Amino acid sequence: MDTKNAKNNNRPSFLEKLMLRVVDGEATALESVVLKVASKMNPAVSSRLEDFQKVNRHLSTLKPERVSVDLWSQVERRIDEEERSAAFLGQRAAREAQAEERESFIKHIFNPSLFGGMAVGLATAGVAFVIFNGGISSGDSTEVASNTDSAAEEIASAEHNTAQGIANFVSYGGSAAAKRREQTYEAYRNQRQVREIRRMDKSLPFEVDWMRSDGHVSFIQDPRRGSTVIWVKRGAENPNRPQLLEADPNLVEATR
């Protein structure tokens, strides 16, 4: 109850709102006249209005503080950094897109749905052969479809393993790697987790992009699995910021 009363006491009354609006120049002409009349009729209103005006006079002595550094130079340098980084990632994305285009035909061939279509076609041809020739049992066409599905599963499994391997590396080896700031992949390419990934896919290099790090650990992988960027939190500049050195695999997201 007391709290409620205290809250109500902090709420401006109608008259106080009116006074506030008048001294802050927010009132209409009519509101100003109403307050003028009220303050003439009631000394308490007049006194309260004077209090508000006094506070405003005190506050009018405040002036903006001045930035002590050449802010524009710093802002411009940071904008340059951001634009360079964006351009770098943009060029990289363009290269990856070109590579994707070049290999789209190969990918198309290994597309599981195409395999599925081919399997359906083969099955249809098999059924037609059986109908017109009365020879082969239906189990053979099922086998063709089954083989096609297993090829697709194998591809999917390989992709999953690679992604899982990276997730394991980030979650297991990420902490140690992050502590060794500014080190490149070369410094820890022979670590066990990296060797495991390289065994899975020998063409898979790693990069740690410290400049772009923003608190999330993630990897961007191009369609050929030829390039991976891991963004890692830089924690040293601001001790209040949490340091994300060891990633939860849930934070690892494949953007491609």
Partner 1 sequence: MLDVKRDMISNIAQKSGTKEVEEPEKALVQRASKGDRDAYRILVEKYQNRVYSLIVSMVKSKEDAEDITQEAFVKAYLSLKNFRGDSSFYTWIYRVAYNMTIDFKRRSSKRSEFLATGPRSEDGSEAPPLDGVATDGNPLEEVERRELAGSLEKAMAQLTEEHRAVIMLREVDGLSYSEIADVVGVSQGTVMSRIHYAKKYLQQALKEFA
Residue with tokens 């290999």: 103
Q: Report how many residues bind partner 1 under the rule CB under 8 A.
A: 37
Instruction: Report how far residue 2's alpha carbon sits from residue 10's, in angstroms, rounded to the nearest whole number.
Output: 12
Measured from the CB atom, the residue of 55 and 187 that comes closer to partner 1 is 55
Binding mask 233-252 for partner 1 (x = CB under 8 A): -------xx-----------
SS3 for 208?
strand
Q: Is 82 in the site for partner 1 (CB under 8 A)?
A: yes
Contact residue for partner 1 among 1, 6, 62, 109 (CB under 8 A): 62
The encoded tokens of residue 51 equal 């209090």
Contact residue for partner 1 among 6, 41, 71, 236 (CB under 8 A): 71
The encoded tokens of residue 60 equal 């009018």
Contact residue for partner 1 among 43, 64, 134, 139 (CB under 8 A): 64
Residues 146-205 that bind partner 1 (CB under 8 A): none
Q: Is 4 in the site for partner 1 (CB under 8 A)?
A: no
- Which region among 67-75, 90-98, 105-113, 216-224 touches partner 1 (by CB under 8 A)? 67-75
Contact residue for partner 1 among 44, 75, 158, 187 (CB under 8 A): 75
Contact predicate 217/174, CB 8 Å: yes
SS3 for 219?
strand
Instruction: Write the DSSP symbol of residue 70.
Output: -
**H or E stretch covering 52:** helix 43-59
Measured from the CB atom, the residue of 2 and 186 that comes closer to partner 1 is 2
Instruction: Report how far residue 52's alpha carbon sits from residue 13's, in angstroms, rounded to the nearest whole number.
Output: 14
Measured from the CB atom, the residue of 133 and 238 that comes closer to partner 1 is 238
Contact residue for partner 1 among 68, 137, 203, 250 (CB under 8 A): 68
Q: How far is the CB of 4 from partner 1 (least distance, A)?
A: 15
Burial of 9 (0-12, 13-18, 19+ CB in 10 A): exposed
Instruction: Report how far residue 254's alpha carbon sits from residue 221's, in angstroms, rounded to the nearest whole number.
Output: 7
SS3 for 207?
strand
Instruction: Report how far residue 87's alpha carbon sits from residue 46's, in angstroms, rounded to the nearest whole number.
Output: 64
Q: How far is the CB of 1 from partner 1 (least distance, A)?
A: 21
Q: Is 16 in the site for partner 1 (CB under 8 A)?
A: yes
The encoded tokens of residue 121 equal 């076609």
Q: Which residues bind partner 1 (CB under 8 A)?
A: 10-12, 16-17, 20-21, 24-26, 51-52, 54-56, 58-69, 71-72, 74-76, 78-79, 82, 240-241
